[in-house]
Chains A and B, each alone.
Chain A
Amino acid sequence: NAGVTQTPKFQVLKTGQSMTLQCAQDMNHNSMYWYRQDPGMGLRLIYYSASEGTTDKGEVPNGYNVSRLNKREFSLRLESAAPSQTSVYFCASSRAQGYTNTEAFFGQGTRLTVV
């Protein structure tokens, strides 16, 4: 039972490089999220997808794009990485409204360093 799988776990980028963080869930969840967590800070929402086919901006969307490829997969793209995007990135998924168990399940995180 894999749950939420993020790849890669670690990545070092040079300023200006691009990359895509991959996320897949096998729990048939409708909603998926991308967060970033800076040292000693809480989780800040970058983008989320309430259901397949929809995406919405969160609190800190600048510099990022997302794709909800299908119900299972939600990717996060950095087009031109900046040192300010050095962070730990978490993907999460949850059931939609109407279910009793609607907590979000998290991936293990991707530690990204931009030099």
Chain B
Amino acid sequence: AQKITQTQPGMFVQEKEAVTLDCTYDTSDPSYGLFWYKQPSSGEMIFLIYQGSYDQQNATEGRYSLNFQKARKSANLVISASQLGDSAMYFCAMREWRRVQGAQKLVFGQGTRLTINP
């Protein structure tokens, strides 16, 4: 069964510093996708970045990058030059791509609450 683990319940970072949010995953499927979402205090879920298991390059989207280490089964989110508006909950998620009944579900980790201090 697929599993996502985020081991940092909370992180505190000074504004303008870079921050790394950890995510490890477990799957037996060679084909899968990894996602990061941001949930601000208003509650909506905002998609940040995606990495496919066969992608050769680490994904980047503006200030967000994904440090994908396939052998270690980790997919850490890196936020460069943090801003006050980055304060939020961050969730890592995984979806397997097997065309088998019961697969292809999108499963989330427990989340990390990031607080950016001025």
- Which chain A residues have a beta carbon within 8 Å of chain B's beta carbons? 31, 33, 35, 41-45, 48, 50, 54, 56, 58-59, 88, 90, 92, 94, 96-97, 101-106, 108-109
Contact = CB atoms under 8 A, between A and B. Distances in A.
Contact of B111 (A42, A50, A102): A42
Q: Name the 5 nearest CB pairs between A and B, nearest first.
A: A106-B45, A42-B110, A103-B47, A43-B108, A97-B97
Count class of interface residues, chain B:
20 to 34
Interface of B: 6, 31, 33, 35, 43-45, 47, 50, 91, 93, 95, 97, 99, 101-111
B104 A59 contact: no
B104 A42 contact: no
A102 B43 contact: no
A34 to B, nearest CB: 11
Contacts of A43: 45, 91, 108
A42 B109 contact: yes
A66 to B, nearest CB: 13
A50 B104 CA distance: 7
A103 B97 contact: no
Given A41-B111, A104-B45, 8 more contacts: A42-B111, A45-B106, A45-B107, A94-B95, A96-B104, A97-B97, A103-B50, A104-B93
26 contacts: A41-B111, A42-B6, A42-B91, A42-B111, A43-B45, A45-B108, A50-B103, A56-B101, A58-B105, A88-B43, A92-B45, A94-B106, A97-B31, A97-B97, A97-B104, A101-B50, A102-B33, A102-B50, A102-B95, A104-B45, A104-B47, A104-B93, A105-B47, A106-B44, A106-B45, A108-B44
B62 to A, nearest CB: 15
B45 A90 contact: yes
A104 B35 contact: yes
A102 B95 CA distance: 10
